[in-house]
């Protein structure tokens, strides 16, 4: 009898041990956002914005070093965590600039970006921008690992992010799937999100047959939720980039006529003249050309890889 009782006793002890571990984790203090930012974090911020606004892709490693040093000194800073995430996203998104140096380990940037945005969301759950980027990275990471559960988790997290700030996260939602196959449901849904982004920004349904945006330029604002629909100090060429991406997606979807209108919309802001990217360029330098020629050139470049 005594020997028969021993396995049961061992199970009880094991159950108690597991229970203690669960209780210990449950009772641990929550990580909280810091009330103030450090001087080191503010200096890293300055470098972050110089790198981003200057298009200094090659400066990403140096900028990440400064940001991560600031984060390690104060890992409760949501802004620093988000800035680290953004740098990793940028390196991944424009990996073609690395040429042959972009090996398979470039996908690690998706994992690192997701981890830092996860921290940013935990520290500042009220900022829906963080939630949108976190959601897109869950889907990216899930796609890399062929983990459908993770992809779906990201998808429904993105729906929450869009509900929280549609003017911002419709674009995040659409852009994050713009590289998907043109005939995939995710790409089609992403393209629809871009159209809905226009609708919420102007407060009405944009005419999709003739989406000329000139009539809406008078709505430009620097305040409220709709401020992200326009150019700002944070994103000096936000509107141009939006229309360029939407035009590219329309070309990919087999709608070049609408793409031409979107490329033309990108030129409506006075800031377009100072934009490095532009709709088309020659010999590596932006050149003023008729928009019809620019659009035709870009459509030729984008039409093949569907």
Instruction: Give 128-150 pLDDT, tens digit per residue.
Output: 999 999 999 999 999 999 999 99
Domains of the chain: 35-164 (1.25.40.10), 176-306 (no CATH)
pLDDT given for residue 285 in this prediction = 40
pLDDT bucket at 4, cuts 50 / 70 / 90: low
Instruction: Give 253-264 pLDDT, tens digit per residue.
Output: 999 999 999 999
The closest alpha carbon to 188, from 173, 199, 167, belongs to 173
Instruction: Give 238-254 pLDDT, tens digit per residue.
Output: 999 999 999 999 999 99
Work out the average pLDDT over 181-205.
97
């Amino acid at each position: 009898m005594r020997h028969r009782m021993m396995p049961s006793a061992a199970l009880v002890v094991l159950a108690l041990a597991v229970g203690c571990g669960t209780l210990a984790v449950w009772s641990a203090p929550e990580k909280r956002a810091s009330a103030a930012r450090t001087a080191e974090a503010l200096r890293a911020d300055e470098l972050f914005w110089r790198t981003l606004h200057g298009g200094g892709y090659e400066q990403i490693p140096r900028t990440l070093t400064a940001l991560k040093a600031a984060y390690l000194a104060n890992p409760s800073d949501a802004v620093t965590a988000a800035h680290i995430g953004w740098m990793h996203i940028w390196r991944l998104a424009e990996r073609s600039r690395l040429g042959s140096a972009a090996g398979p380990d470039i996908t690690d940037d998706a994992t690192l970006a997701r981890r830092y945005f996860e921290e940013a969301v935990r520290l500042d759950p009220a900022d829906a921008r963080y939630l949108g980027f976190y959601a897109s990275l869950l889907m990216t990471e899930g796609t890399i690992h062929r983990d459908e559960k993770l992809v779906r988790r990201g998808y429904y997290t993105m729906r929450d992010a869009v509900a929280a700030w549609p003017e911002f996260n419709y674009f995040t939602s659409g852009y994050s799937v713009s590289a998907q196959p043109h005939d995939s449901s995710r790409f089609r849904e992403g393209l629809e999100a871009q159209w809905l982004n226009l609708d919420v920004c102007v407060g009405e349904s944009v005419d999709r047959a003739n989406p000329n945006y000139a009539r809406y330029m008078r709505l430009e604002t620097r305040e409220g939720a709709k401020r992200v629909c326009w150019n700002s100090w944070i994103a000096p060429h936000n509107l141009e980039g939006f229309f360029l991406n939407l035009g590219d997606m329309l070309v990919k979807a087999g709608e070049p006529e609408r793409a031409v209108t979107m490329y033309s919309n990108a030129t409506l802001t006075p800031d377009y003249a100072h934009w490095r990217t532009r709709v088309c360029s020659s010999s590596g330098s932006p050149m003023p050309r008729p928009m019809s020629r620019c659009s035709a050139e870009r459509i030729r470049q984008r039409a093949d890889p569907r």
